[in-house]
Amino acid sequence: MSALPRRTAIPFARSERSTVGLEWELALVDADSGDLRQVAQTVLDAVRPEDGGTHPSIKQELLLNTVEVVSGVCRTVGEAGRDLERSIEELRAVTDPLRVELMSAGTHPFARWAQQKVTDKQRYNTLIDRTQWWGRQMLIYGVHVHVGIEDRAKVLPIQRAMLTTFAHLQSLSASSPFWGGKDTGYASNRALMFQQLPTAGLPFQFGTWEELEGYVADMLHTGVIDAFDEIRWDLRPAPQFGTLETRICDGVTNISELLALAALTHCLVEHFSTMLDEGRELPSIPPWFAQENKWRSARYGMDAIIILDREGNEELVTDAVGRLLVELEPVAARLGCLDELDGVRTIVRRGASYQRQRAVARRNGGELDAVVRSLVAEMRAGRPL
């Protein structure tokens, strides 16, 4: 007699439809050398509230060279961006006197992973103990976008549909061409680094919430994870918040581009949610095409020829983005992010961060400290330079 399948109940929190929240991982770099500084704890202690608790919007991360700024639950991308800017202003009041600059990109161009210190926290120590060499290699930075979904039944269909636009988001945000002082030949080296962790990478395309609960039960039973948030997919439900969390994008170098990519994500989730309301079939793509698209966009970035649909039709990613932006304009008008969404066209026109970084390196004889200076300058300016 076969055993009953395992199930772990995963309640999905009530969330207002298409609310949005942003998380932005920031590197702490030395103002003089451009190398990473292990001062996250000093910074976090300085911004700690008087009651001794943790800061509501400035968080610790895996490595002591990193802090994360998070927005509140917002109605618009612009509102979330203003939250982040307030946190960054608070951070700079601490980091400027330390001669520390804030920087974001998928990777630091020349820092050495072996020299980085891990935050002393049980969760992070367990991760490094289990994953060893690959875990210590996680010298990477990303952006996460949460979008509220009002009905749990919509979450997995929207997640599957979002995989059809995975390559769009990864190509536009690609900002990690360099690793350990070398040009990797990839637009997003971070994308392929991160998927080496257990439970990271592309999500499984489950058809029902019960299948997801069965998967989680199996992962808990076999000790792969101790909690749901140890599932580190590029795109995952966040049941405790009632959101779909998109973790595709490399670290974004400036607030303008971050809001453009967030607006694109926000609009896509709302667009697919509306399609469900209207009884229309959502787009989907087989796992083998999704996997190939991830590799192509990581390798070629804005020059990637991506697979569009289950039939295997292909198109240059920038052309696909152009068509998508026209389709999403009415959604952006409803969500109040037309200006931010239009920023995606600026990325297409002026180039993604990986392209700008390589151009700076070429102009400076391959010197990657010049690339760091350019990343720091974009963070200060709040726009691509």
d(CA 285, CA 35): 41
The pLDDT of residue 1: 46
Domain presence at residue 67 = yes
The angle, 0 to 180 degrees and rounded to 10, between the axes of the packed helices 166-173 and 338-350 is 70
User: Whole domain around residue 115: which residue ranges?
Assistant: 20-377
Domain presence at residue 9 = no
Domain presence at residue 385 = no
Residue by residue, pLDDT tens for the chain (385 residues) are 456 678 889 999 999 999 999 999 999 999 999 999 999 999 999 999 988 889 999 999 888 999 999 999 999 999 999 999 999 999 999 999 999 999 999 999 999 988 888 887 888 788 888 878 787 778 999 999 999 999 999 999 999 999 999 999 999 999 999 999 999 999 999 999 999 989 999 999 999 999 999 999 999 999 999 999 999 999 999 999 999 999 999 999 999 999 999 999 999 999 999 999 999 999 999 999 999 999 999 999 999 999 999 999 999 999 999 999 999 999 999 999 999 999 999 999 999 999 999 999 999 999 999 999 999 999 999 999 9
> Nearest-CA neighbor of 369 among 181, 189, 186?
181
Domain presence at residue 29 = yes
The structure's pTM equals 0.96
d(CA 71, CA 89): 13
DSSP-derived pairing of the beta strands 232-233 and 200-201: parallel
65 in Cβ contact with 43 (< 8 Å): no
The pLDDT of residue 135: 76
Q: Is 245 helix (H, G, I), strand (E, B) or coil?
A: strand
Domain presence at residue 104 = yes
Domain presence at residue 6 = no
> What is the total count of domains within the chain?
1
The pLDDT of residue 113: 83
The pLDDT of residue 227: 93
d(CA 206, CA 220): 18
Q: Give every CB contact of residue 150 below 8 A, 6+ residues apart in sequence.
A: 14, 15, 16, 17, 242
CATH code where residue 38 lies? 3.30.590.20
Domain presence at residue 5 = no
Q: Is 21 helix (H, G, I), strand (E, B) or coil?
A: strand
Domain presence at residue 383 = no
244 in Cβ contact with 238 (< 8 Å): yes
